[in-house]
Amino acid sequence: MFLSINKLKTLRKEKGWSQEVLAKATGLSVRTIQRIEADGKASAESTLALASVYELSPQALKATSTDIQIKWTRKVIMKSLVGLLMISCAVGMLIFLGASLRNYLDVTSGVFLILFLYAATMVTFGTNGMFKSLSGLKYIFTEEMVGGEKARYLAELYKSQVKFLYGGALIGLVVGLIAILSNIDTYENFSLLRAISVNLVVLFYAALLSECVFRPLSIKLKTCDIKE
């Protein structure tokens, strides 16, 4: 069972109790109190003990349907970092085997894609949605989480951002293709192929962001309640 961390801390501070005093009142260990106030996860027995002391029903201590409760631990963060590093190494290996790194670097394409992504986000979800999208990126570094309405909202937002990224990449490809075809007489065979390869970089960036960041985040937020 997940309890509201903020509610537990507020109730304890309203009584002027330390964690040690609360532990004595409930019959729980200090370590148990510290753990519950850190991650919100409590057994039925611990929940009953806390509810009895605060003279509330166990239901009143539960995390609300809008809360996102997260357990931040070094182990969980490191596991996420290792996963991201493995993905980065896999992509880096493909880049190394495929072509020179400079062929994949295109600042203009990257800036266009980011601007398009967040412009589309603002149009669809408003300025508040854009800022929630940016602040919600931290959830990629945790796996022990229970969601609610906020999690479902962010899951839908990130799912939409995957579409925005591929939509932006499609627009970039079409514009680039039109530019290439309109000047095709000025290209030699090699320079034409290079122009086409540069034009594909925007799709590469869109796929990288979508499949390594936004889609995993969307799935994680959508299924966090199921996993718990």
The span from the CA of 149 to the CA of 132, in Å, is: 13
C-beta neighbour count of 94 within 10 angstroms: 11
The pLDDT, as a whole number, for residue 190 is: 58
Q: Which residues contact 168 (CB under 8 A, 6 or more apart)?
A: 112, 113, 116, 117, 120, 202, 206
- Identify whether the C-beta of residue 113 lies closer than 8 Å to the C-beta of residue 169: yes
The pLDDT, as a whole number, for residue 169 is: 93
Give the number of residues written for the chain: 228
Q: Is the dihedral of CA 166, 168, 171, 172 positive or negative?
A: negative
Q: Is 99 helix (H, G, I), strand (E, B) or coil?
A: coil
Cα 97 to chain center, whole Å?
Answer: 30
> Which ranges in the chain belong to alpha helices (H)?
5-15, 19-26, 30-39, 44-54, 58-61, 74-98, 107-135, 149-182, 189-199, 201-209, 215-227
- Identify whether the C-beta of residue 228 lies closer than 8 Å to the C-beta of residue 220: no
The pLDDT, as a whole number, for residue 227 is: 47
The span from the CA of 17 to the CA of 12, in Å, is: 6
The pLDDT, as a whole number, for residue 171 is: 92
The pLDDT, as a whole number, for residue 147 is: 67
Mean pLDDT for back-to-back runs of 10 residues, the chain (228 residues): 80 90 91 84 88 87 63 70 80 72 82 94 93 89 71 90 95 86 71 69 92 90 65
- Identify whether the C-beta of residue 224 lies closer than 8 Å to the C-beta of residue 146: yes
146 bridge partner residues: 69
* Ramachandran angles phi, psi of 144, nearest 5°: -95, 95
